[in-house]
Amino acid sequence: MTVLDLSLFYFVMSSEEPSTSTGPHSPKGVCAVCGDVANGRRYGAMSCLGCIVFFRRTCLRNMKYRCQRQGSCEITTETRCVCRSCRMKKCLDVGMNPESIQIRDVIGPRRPRPQSRSPVLPSPTGSSSHPPSVPEALSIGVFLELQKNQREQHSTEDERKFTEGCVYMKEPSQRRSILAEYSIAFMLIDQVVKTVNEADDGFWLLQNGSFLGCHFEFVTQLLSSLAAPFRRLKLSDFESTVIKLLMLIPVSQPNLRNQVTQCLMENLSMDSERFGEIILLISSIRCAVKAFYNMTK
């Protein structure tokens, strides 16, 4: 998968309007449409995330609905998905304005990206065409810092520099090929961490604050296979970094993999059950990556 493919997917996955607030400091109030907990007054009336997404999607796609009960359906939290016609009518009745919806620019980001930072990993130096030797030791702290930086920046230049830092891969083209697959897993791990820490139930958050609802089959799969176990285990930054490293380091480098595994075991002390559950998450992430490929074929 090329960088262009990843960029296209990121645009598709970011097609919903960013959430104004999904954390504990969400504005208090009740949705004027269905009575659920309100998220804000984004389109002219106090409304919840579900009604915000429904209203925006209906307007942007110019969708028309027909009520089977002559427009007399009651819209509540429990019944809001039963009749879309009455739900849309109530959205308009309470003051939600279609003209307040802004379509995101599909060409580039809203703001200029900050200047790319220097990569944390060392790049190969010198004019020799021979690959440098494999490092004998790893510092998890270095990768923790790399993870923080990566969450803030998602650009082709960062990918190129990070690729150059993977010194145990032979050729630059091979590095980019391997990281093309790894970067999807990297992206999904960051998204599930953000979702678990910030999102309401039934929503999947992206790095830029946009969200997707569970009406997407792919999102439903992500919520059940990734968000649920991540939420139950309450993974730390250290543990999520270890997962990334184990997915990145090839099986041809057993010494490096053993070092990372040993660090995780020492961090968990005597909690062998948790260690096993964290390792099993890798297979769930790989299944999610495969589902991503199937969706973007």
Flag whether pLDDT at 274 surpasses 60.
Answer: yes
The full length of the chain comes to 297
Give the least confident one: 50-64, 108-122, 160-174, 282-296: 108-122
With CA atoms as reference, report the closest residue to 150 among 179, 112, 110.
Answer: 179
> What was the pLDDT predicted at 177?
60
Q: Mean pLDDT over residues 42-60, rounded?
A: 89
Lookup: tokens for 77: 């939290």
With CA atoms as reference, report the closest residue to 192 among 208, 205, 177, 173.
Answer: 205
> What was the pLDDT predicted at 132?
39
Q: How far is CA 246 from the centre of its chain?
A: 19
> What was the pLDDT predicted at 27?
44
Give the least confident one: 79-88, 170-179, 228-237: 170-179
Mean pLDDT, rounded, of the chain: 72
Is pLDDT larger for residue 51 or for residue 132?
51
> What was the pLDDT predicted at 180?
63
| The CATH number of the domain covering residues in 20-100 | 3.30.50.10
Rounded Cα distance, 245 and 248, in Å:
5
Q: Mean pLDDT over residues 252-260, rounded?
A: 84
The per-residue pLDDT for range 161-219, each reduced to its tens digit, is 444 555 455 566 656 666 666 778 888 888 888 888 888 888 888 877 778 877 778 88
Count of Cβ atoms closer than 10 Å to residue 230 Cβ: 22
Lookup: tokens for 125: 């130096």
Long-range contacts of 251-257 (CB under 8 A, 24+ apart): 253/134, 253/168, 255/134, 255/136, 256/134, 256/135, 256/138, 256/168
Q: Quick one: 140-295 is in which CATH superfamily?
A: Retinoid X Receptor (1.10.565.10)
20-100 and 140-295 in the same fold: no
pTM above 0.85? Answer: no
Give the least confident one: 92-106, 220-234, 278-292: 92-106
Flag whether pLDDT at 91 surpasses 90.
Answer: yes
With CA atoms as reference, report the closest residue to 51 among 15, 110, 95.
Answer: 95
Q: What residue ranges do the domains of the chain occupy?
A: 20-100, 140-295
> 3-class SS at 92?
helix
C-alpha angle 241/20/154, rounded to 5°?
35
Residues 6+ apart with CB under 8 A from 287: 225
Is pLDDT larger for residue 15 or for residue 86?
86
DSSP string, 136-193: S---HHHHHHHHHHHHH---HHHHHHHHHH-TTSSSHHHHHHHHHHHHHHHHHHHHHH
